[in-house]
Structure 1
Amino acid sequence: MTDTSTPPETPLSTRSDVDEVVVLDFGGQYSQLIARRVRECGVFSELLPHHVGAAEVRRRKPKGVILSGGPASVYAPDAPPLDPELLNLGVPVLGICYGMQLLARELGGRVESAEVGEYGRSQLTVHEQGTLLRGQPDEQPAWMSHRDTVYSPPEGATALASSTSSPVAAFEDADRGLYGIQYHPEVVHTPYGQQTLMTFLRDVCHCAMDWSAANIAEEQIRLIREQVGDGKVICGLSGGVDSSVAALLVHQAVGDQLTCVYVDHGLMRKNETEQVERTFGEHFQVPLVVVDAKDRFLARLKGVTEPEAKRKAIGGEFIRIFEEEALKLAVGAGAEGVEGADVKTFGEVSAAGGDTGAKFLVQGTLYSDVIESGGGTGAATIKSHHNVGGLPEDMTFELVEPLRALFKDEVRAVGTEIGLPERMVWRQPFPGPGLGIRIVGGEVTEEKLDLLRECDAILQEEVRAAGLYRELWQSFCVLPDVRTVGVQGDERTYGYVVAIRAVTSDDAMTADWARLPYDLLDQIATRMVGEVRQINRVVLDITSKPPGTIEWE
């Protein structure tokens, strides 16, 4: 079982020859975005909880450290503290927002609560460019989100800039390698933010800037071979880009040692199982086992309405099926004691030292899955992804997760690099638990699944016809357990509500609701109410992330 309660024992990059900058998370809403922006500059970055300690950071041999923002006041009794030893690692440190305030306070600067907080767009005035702000204009917009303010920099540091409500909005002590900025360079509302990060990485940390998602494919193939050896491997294939890229990487690494298993849990979209079988058969030369498990999953979900319970039930059932399919591989190879009256569970066979058929399970786990599932001590669990926090405690598979360090767009870059067809690379994300988490507030039933499938098919058809599919990160329907009164054909109806959810995003860590054309929305709603019996109302979700999440559950 993968332990997601503590930071990984080794950097997720798994490469010793790649420069890395560690981002320490102090609870800021943009912390993940900092790591992503650093990667966009060509430097690998991993997000770690703030309290991992200087010893753990030193072990990773980073070229620099970034301290994220956070919601606390540096003066609050329970405020996340700064480990002073982080300033003695011999590498540059950049504090952002709360991170800057921690640096200033630790080094003797003056940090106080301002009478007026500074939130949203502000005007930054650069008084001295120094190293960090070299080449930037004297006046520029910047995104702020703070109440505490630095009124004087630490001794030996130079104040570089101020803003509307911040006397010191940036400072640096180049001799000690210490830098602070009050604004958020990682958000698009700070137009010179990426330049600031690039300067820190290139001119201050002297990073090689040679990391990219595409060029790690060869390294991942080598690591897979080292991990798997001559063992048999099962891949949980969903047909999405994540599992498909993972499967192709593993197949290139170990060839016919891999068997892909597609589980039709009855929670897929309309005709999706047939599409996966057809696409997989056309583009892969890998054995594919299709398991019809609709009845099993519906039985597991009977009476279950709580979102986390749904995810864990679905994730657990997936693992049980993978174990059964692994044992069938052992039977096919002539192993004894795993069929007929002597049938044993995967765990029992493994504990007894028997042939389990396959001891490795490939998953298309992404970095965003790990983060949202609470992948670090103190990290909040937003929702347990079925392939991370939803795994059963007694699972004995050894996981192979070649994409665990990557965001979605990085996975697409790898997929393109290794020859995955464009339609598969750009398939919109679809959750492993499928439509089971898009039926909200009530029990998952075959009737509701059929209604949701039909509505979702209409939405996908119209979005594609409008030429918007590639512009949207996701577009899908949600079926709340709510009925409303309507009028159809001069008769009263009492039918279900269906919600349309469409968002734009770069990496799913943040998202904005998509401004779909009114005519398109009208066409979609008219078709849903007219073609899908028991649907009499269509609504549009216009919530961004944050404060919402992309999926409703």
Structure 2
Amino acid sequence: MVKVDRFIEKAIENIRRQVDGKALLALSGGVDSSVCLVLARRAIGDLLIPVYIDTGLMREGETERIVEIFGDAGLRVVHAEEQFLEGLRGITDPEEKRRAFGEVYLRVLEDVAREEEVEYLIQGTIYPDFIESLGGIKSHHNVKGLPDVYEFKAIIEPIRDLYKDEVREVARALGLPPEICERMPFPGPGLSVRILGEVTREKVEIARRANRIVEEELLEKFRPWQTYAALVGKGTGVKGDVRAYGWIVAVRAVESRDGMTAQPLEIPHEVLMRLASRLTSEIPEVTHVMYDLTPKPPATIELE
């Protein structure tokens, strides 16, 4: 386990050593990038420019909440929904999807860097991101999913050697609020990896509504390490005594320590039935609901 106080001291020293001017901080609002924000702010002060990219693939109310929490930190918000949807257009392969997301992600940050005359990028990559990316399991957008050529003088990753549980320890030591310290992981590519196949605006909206319902039903009561809804295809159903060809939603809820392994939560049958009822009634386009019982391994936590 990481020695928190020593890690914080060393991380701040390393950022000061590597950055000799202004730097962008890619802030998602999750615990990883939030820890990097505090470390970098202590290291270089007002030379840090935190940037939040609204990809259009976020959970319901996500952008508004991030602005509410971090607005006083000089946060710059970039609305880039159209760029990401265009970059993902026609792509169905999960790895190609992640690389396409990474391409748009970096180019949007480069645009901001040119405007602000910034040469450095700081991001919250953690050790499992490298393990999965370099091990060929999946290309995280901030590792193998990044383009090989970029305009930044350097990309700095202060917590790249930490696991998620260690990042949470550091977050608590830095005095971040519990809402951030204990925040459920959310994939960098957002809802795009919770949509099997091509990403479209219609699918994103359905996935967003489905994720809200799942979180409302499971987060507070069961405290999963991660839970979500994914669109996995279409199936024939019946609504109002009429055939309905609608979306199949897979619900996943797991417990884990560091994200490297995970076990599915045992959700009571009546809760699953309520979930199915809400998903199919509140989202007319949904006709089927399934619960994913697969541990990691052999599955990964996200479907893509």
Judge same fold: TM > 0.5, yes or no.
yes
CA contact (8 A) 2:123 2:156 kept: yes
Cross-structure match for 1:202: none
CA contact (8 A) 1:265 1:297 kept: yes
Cross-structure match for 1:473: 225
Match of 2:103 among 288, 305, 316: 316
Cross-structure match for 1:426: 182
Structure-to-structure mapping, 1:47-62, within 5 angstroms: none
One-letter code aligned to 1:372: E
- TM-score, length-scaled by structure 2: 0.97
Cross-structure match for 1:222: 13
Cross-structure match for 2:271: 520
Q: Does 1:296 align with 2:48?
A: no
Q: Does 1:509 align with 2:260?
A: yes
One-letter code aligned to 2:292: D
- Distance in 1, matches of 2:56 and 2:41, equals 27
Cross-structure match for 1:114: none
CA contact (8 A) 1:214 1:413 kept: no
Q: Does 1:437 align with 2:227?
A: no
- Distance in 2, matches of 1:267 and 1:547, equals 27
Size of the aligned set, in residue pairs, is: 303
Q: Does 1:269 align with 2:40?
A: no
Which protein has the larger Cα radius of gyration, Structure 1 or Structure 2? 1
User: Runs of 4+ in structure 1 displaced over 6 angstroms?
Assistant: none
Deviation at 1:271, TM superposition (A): 1.2
Secondary structure of residue in 2 paired with 1:501: strand
One-letter code aligned to 1:393: D
CA contact (8 A) 1:213 1:411 kept: no
CA contact (8 A) 1:456 1:477 kept: yes
Deviation at 1:486, TM superposition (A): 1.2
CA contact (8 A) 2:234 2:247 kept: yes
Match of 1:454 among 204, 209, 213: 209
Deviation at 1:381, TM superposition (A): 1.1
Residue deviations 1:248-302 (CA, integer Å, cap 9, x gap) = 1101111100001111111111111111111112xxx421111111011111111
Deviation at 1:534, TM superposition (A): 0.8
Q: Classify 1:260/1:302 alpha carbon distance in 2 versus 1 (closer, same or farther; 3 Å).
A: same
What residue ranges of structure 1 are gaps of 5+ in the alignment? Answer: 1-38, 40-210, 330-356, 375-379
Secondary structure of residue in 2 paired with 1:509: coil
- Distance in 2, matches of 1:227 and 1:448, equals 42
What residue ranges of structure 2 are gaps of 5+ in the alignment? Answer: none
Cross-structure match for 1:131: none
Q: Does 1:371 align with 2:131?
A: yes
- Distance in 2, matches of 1:238 and 1:518, equals 34
CA contact (8 A) 2:219 2:227 kept: no
Deviation at 1:213, TM superposition (A): 3.6
Cross-structure match for 1:358: 118
Deviation at 1:214, TM superposition (A): 4.7
Secondary structure of residue in 2 paired with 1:423: helix
Task: Name the structure with the higher helix share.
Answer: 2
- Distance in 2, matches of 1:494 and 1:303, equals 22
- Worse-matched range after superposition: 542-551 or 391-400: 391-400
Deviation at 1:246, TM superposition (A): 0.7
Cross-structure match for 2:47: 257
One-letter code aligned to 1:510: T
Cross-structure match for 1:122: none
Match of 1:536 among 277, 280, 287: 287
Name the % identity.
Answer: 46
Residue deviations 1:323-376 (CA, integer Å, cap 9, x gap) = 1101111xxxxxxxxxxxxxxxxxxxxxxxxxxx111101100011111111xx
Deviation at 1:237, TM superposition (A): 0.7
- Worse-matched range after superposition: 512-521 or 419-428: 512-521
CA contact (8 A) 1:361 1:400 kept: yes
One-letter code aligned to 1:391: L
One-letter code aligned to 2:133: S
One-letter code aligned to 1:484: G
Secondary structure of residue in 2 paired with 1:533: coil
CA contact (8 A) 2:110 2:151 kept: no
- Distance in 2, matches of 1:213 and 1:382, equals 29
Q: Does 1:246 align with 2:9?
A: no
One-letter code aligned to 1:543: T
Deviation at 1:518, TM superposition (A): 1.6
One-letter code aligned to 1:535: V
- Worse-matched range after superposition: 395-404 or 495-504: 395-404
CA contact (8 A) 1:213 1:406 kept: no
- Distance in 1, matches of 2:262 and 2:54, equals 29
- Distance in 1, matches of 2:184 and 2:300, equals 16
Secondary structure of residue in 2 paired with 1:373: helix
Secondary structure of residue in 1 paired with 2:73: coil
- Distance in 2, matches of 1:215 and 1:410, equals 13
- Distance in 1, matches of 2:4 and 2:216, equals 32
CA contact (8 A) 2:262 2:297 kept: yes
Cross-structure match for 1:234: 24
- Distance in 2, matches of 1:524 and 1:286, equals 38
Cross-structure match for 1:548: 299
CA contact (8 A) 2:207 2:230 kept: yes
